[in-house]
Structures are given as structure tokens and as C-alpha cells.
Amino acid sequence: MSSTVRVLEHGRVLKRIETSKPDRAEVESAFRTIIRWTGDDPDRDGLVDTPARVARAFEEYFAGYGQDPALILQKTFEVIEGYDEMIVLRGIRFESHCEHHLAPITGRVWVAYIPRGRVVGISKLARVVEVYAKRLQIQEKMTAQIANTIEEILNPQGVGVIIKATHHCMSARGVHQPDTDLVTSRMLGCFRDNALTRHEFLTMVE
Ligand SMILES: [Zn+2]
């Protein structure tokens, strides 16, 4: 079955990937193959429904393809009483998957911005994080995507995004470092140019 995958970003179709998108039966068959490859029997009782379950789980993990983060932010409110101080949403939880190992990345995001005339409902900031998390990711890219989207759509005086996350490809395999987390940040506008603004934001990140 041939179809087109549209990757949406910033209100436009970023790219169209001409692909033969596999149907559910093909995906389940692929997971059966992986189970056989581990050395187990995909027909034994405990595993017989696993390929279908994993396919459904993958639909959930990767629901962010085809959702447009820019559209989420487009419903904005005008600033009430000229509010132009920092707005910070702290510790937004997310689960994502690394694009190198398909292993879980779990962590939290701190998002801050200083508006220039437009503010957005705070739940929308969490939704933007979720859409980017539900794609194959590397943490550095996800950090930049969240900041860039907020900057482009809200045109604020500045944006700061910090992500702290644990990568299961590091904690459960490879170098086996379960207690490390990776911290990434992206500062734009006054968060980059003004050390006091940046400092104020950093004091709110525990
Ligand atoms: Zn990885």
C-alpha cells in the first residue's frame, strides 16, 4: 500500500515522504520476526498477542507525526494589562524515544518566555512538548524545536527551554549509567542576550 507521510511543522508541511507505509499486518509480522530473533517463540501463550500490542503501543509512542505544534500555539490571547514579565511552565513530564536505539527517554521540560503582546494558554506549551516528544528524537533537537516553535509563532521578547532527561539506551544498556541525566538548553532573544533574565529563569529550574 503506497501512501504519503506528511511531517507537519510550523503550520506547513515540512516534507512529504513518499513511502509505502506498511499496514498493521506487516508491522505485527515484523515484531514476530524480532521475537523469533531474540530466541523466543512468538506462538507461545504469553507472546501470541504481543506483536499486536506492541503495534498499538507504537501508535501511541509516535502519535506526534502528523500533529502540527504551530497550530496548537496559534490560538493566543492578547496580553492583559500589558503583562510583560516572565512566564514559566516548570517540570513538564514527557516520554520520548531516541532515534538511535528506539529506547525510551524520560524527563522534564522547563519552558519560559517573555511575551511581546501575545500570550498563550499554558496547557498549550505542554501540548507542544508532547507533540515533539511523540516522535523519534534526540534531546538536543527536541530542545531546539520547542524553543524555535514558540519563537516563531508567539514572537516573544525571548524564550528559554531546558530539558533534563534520562536515556534508557545509556541506563539500561551500553555504559549502564542509571543515575545520569542529560541537560540541554536553548535560549533565544532576551534569554540569550540578557544574563539577568537567563539567571532568573535558571533559578526556577530545580
Ligand atoms: Zn539512544
Residues 6 or more apart in contact with residue 65 via CB below 8 angstroms: 5, 7, 134, 135
**How does DSSP classify residue 53?**
H
Annotation marks residue 169 as catalytic: yes
Q: Per residue, what are the HEC states of 135-169? A: CEECHHHHHHHHHHHHHHHHCCCEEEEEEEEEEHH
Per-residue pLDDT tens listing for the chain (206 residues)? 445 566 666 656 666 666 678 999 999 999 999 999 999 999 999 999 999 999 999 999 999 998 999 999 988 877 677 788 999 999 999 999 999 999 999 999 999 999 998 899 889 999 999 999 999 999 999 999 999 999 999 999 999 999 999 999 988 888 888 888 999 999 999 999 999 999 999 999 98
Q: How far apart are CA 106 and CA 28, in angstroms?
A: 26
What pLDDT was estimated at residue 1? 42
Q: What is the rounded distance in angstroms from the CA atom of residue 79 to the CA atom of residue 202? A: 24
Q: Which of 9, 98, 137, 145 is labelled catalytic? A: 98
Q: Is 196 helix (H, G, I), strand (E, B) or coil?
A: helix
**pLDDT value, residue 2:** 46
Q: Which of 97, 137, 145, 167 is catalytic?
A: 167
